[in-house]
């Protein structure tokens, strides 16, 4: 049995990003032999063959798991990626520890992922909170007058949209979202069945695209499944800063640790165009213009 695997997935449009991630895994000295699994959610046969031949990836097709997910997918097969995460223990029987990494992310430094694997080995969900020192806003509050306000946190809004009981919605109302774009969990951990049950409950009326994070919130904050909150470098989504020599992405604030997983969440234009650049300040106060894509930081 492989000790550890990294799983990702997507469609033909995301193939260049999937390849960037696979290449970044194989470039890590401590991950050269790590298992790679790619969920085929609309890849071409040539793309699948390429990922298998060049990176040793096991490319697999999966079902929708819930009829509601397929019915409300709008024919977009990549929407499966929100559902499949809760079934990775079944799709990766060869692994004891399973990491999910979104296709719009790549690995610059493997050390932060090692922290996540170590935490997951203790039967805890290793994941990063979206509320941190890099959060400009922890939740949205809508002021309605007379000193009253309406909570608009992501988990509260999504749980209400899913038609969950008000008591549960309130339980989630002030809790931070745990970002499902990168996580590690042991295949034998007790979380999987609880996660699937909560996902099945939430998907009946809730959005398919966000059901993964809502169901993670339910199993963590309502069911009390053990979690290990990992450093932001394990799933870094900005703000961006570069090292003095401009060759590595680092945390924006001191101690300017090297970013482990570079996650381009919300960067739709850059995901589509690898030549697009953004201004990035350096630790020593200069400014460089580079893409966040893997090729700009290789070598």
Q: Tell whether 75 and 202 lie within a shared domain.
A: yes
Residue range 279-294: average pLDDT?
98
Question: d(Cα 134, Cα 279) in Å, to the nearest integer?
Answer: 18
Rounded Cα distance between 85 and 117, Å, is 17
Q: Are 88 and 100 contacting, i.e. CB atoms less than 8 angstroms apart?
A: yes
In a domain, 136, yes or no: no
Q: What is the CATH number of the domain that holds 223?
A: 3.90.550.10
Please give the model's pTM, rounded to 2 decimal places.
Answer: 0.94
What is the CA 69 to chain-centroid distance, rounded?
A: 19
Long-range contacts (CB closer than 8 Å, 24 or more residues apart) made by 244-253: 244/282, 244/283, 244/284, 246/282, 246/286, 246/288, 246/290, 247/297, 248/108, 248/297, 249/108, 249/280, 249/292, 249/297, 250/283, 252/134, 253/133, 253/134
Check whether residue 17 and residue 148 sit in a common domain.
no
- Total structural domains within the chain: 3
Q: Give the max Cα distance, the chain.
A: 64
Q: Output the DSSP codes for 94-143.
A: TEEEEEEE-TTEEES-SHHHHHHHHHHTTT-EEEEES-STT-S-SS-EEE
Report the pLDDT averaged over residues 174-195. Answer: 97
pLDDT at 279 over 50: yes
Tell me: pLDDT of 29 over 90.
Answer: no
Tokens of 44: 């071409």
Average pLDDT over residues 61-86: 91
Mean pLDDT of 110-133: 96
Reply yes or no on whether the pLDDT at 113 is more than 60.
Answer: yes
- Residue 296 CB neighbours (<10 A): 16
Per-residue pLDDT, averaged over 3-17, amounts to 96
Q: Which of 206-228 are b and which e, b meaning 16 or more Cβ less than 10 Å from the residue's Cβ? A: bbbbbbbbbbbbbbbbbeebebb
Given this model, what pLDDT does residue 139 score? 66
Q: Write the CA distances from 61 to 10, 11, 40, 64, 68, integer angstroms.
A: 11, 11, 5, 10, 19
In a domain, 61, yes or no: yes
CA–CA separation, 44 and 185 (whole Å): 29
State yes or no: pLDDT of 166 exceeds 60: yes
Contact 2, 33 (CB under 8 A): no
For 260, phi then psi, to 5°, come to -85, -65
* 62 and 197 housed in the same domain: yes
My answer on whether 33 and 76 are in the same domain is yes
Of the candidates 297, 296, 247, 291, the residue with the CA atom closest to the CA atom of residue 271: 291
**How much is the pLDDT for 72?**
86
Residue 166 lies in a domain: yes
pLDDT at 234: 98
The verdict on 181 and 98 lying in the same domain is yes
Judged against a pLDDT cut of 90, whether residue 134 lies above it is answered with: no
**Same domain for 252 and 120:** no
Assess whether the previous peptide bond of 123 is cis (omega < 30° from 0). no
- Asked if the model's pLDDT at residue 1 lies above 50, the reply is no
Residue 243 lies in a domain: yes
Let me know whether 25 and 93 are in one domain: yes
Rounded average pLDDT over 37-59: 97
Report d(CA 199, CA 295) in Å as an integer: 36
User: What pLDDT, in 10s, does the model give residues 200-212?
Assistant: 999 999 889 899 9
Mean pLDDT on 229-255: 97
Q: Which domain holds residue 251?
A: 234-297
- CA dist., res. 214 & res. 85, Å (int): 12
To which H or E segment does residue 2 belong?
Answer: strand 2-10
Across the chain, mean pLDDT equals 94
- Residue 30, pLDDT > 80, answer no
Pair (26, 147) in one structural domain = no
Chain-centroid distance of CA 164 in Å reads 24
The residue that leads in pLDDT, 141 or 236, is 236
């Amino acid at each position: 049995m492989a000790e550890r695997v990294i799983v990702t997935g997507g469609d033909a449009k995301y193939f260049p990003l999937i390849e960037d991630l696979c290449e970044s895994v194989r470039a890590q000295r401590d991950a050269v032999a790590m298992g790679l699994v790619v969920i085929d959610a609309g890849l071409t046969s040539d793309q699948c063959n390429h990922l298998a031949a060049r990176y040793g990836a096991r490319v697999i097709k999966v079902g929708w798991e819930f009829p509601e997910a397929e019915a409300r997918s709008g024919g977009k097969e990549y929407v499966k990626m929100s559902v499949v995460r809760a079934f990775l223990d079944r799709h990766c029987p060869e692994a004891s520890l399973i990491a999910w990494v979104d296709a719009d992310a790549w690995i610059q430094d493997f050390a932060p992922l090692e922290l996540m694997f170590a935490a997951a080995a203790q039967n805890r969900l290793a994941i990063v909170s979206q509320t941190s020192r890099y959060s400009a806003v922890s939740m949205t509050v809508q002021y309605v007058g007379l000193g009253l306000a309406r909570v608009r946190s992501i988990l509260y809004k999504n749980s209400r949209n899913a038609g969950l009981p008000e008591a549960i919605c309130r339980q989630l109302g002030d809790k931070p979202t745990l970002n499902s774009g990168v996580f590690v969990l042991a295949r034998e951990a007790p979380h999987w069945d609880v996660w699937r049950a909560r996902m099945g409950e939430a998907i009946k009326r809730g959005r398919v695209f966000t059901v993964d994070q809502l169901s993670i919130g339910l199993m963590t904050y309502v069911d009390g499944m053990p979690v290990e909150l990992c450093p932001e470098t394990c799933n870094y989504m900005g703000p961006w800063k570069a090292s003095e020599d401009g060759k590595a992405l680092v945390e924006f604030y001191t101690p300017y640790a090297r970013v482990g997983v570079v996650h381009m969440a919300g960067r739709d234009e850059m995901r589509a165009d690898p030549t697009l650049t953004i201004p990035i300040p350096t630790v020593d106060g200069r400014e460089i213009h580079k893409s966040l894509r893997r090729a700009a930081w290789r070598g």
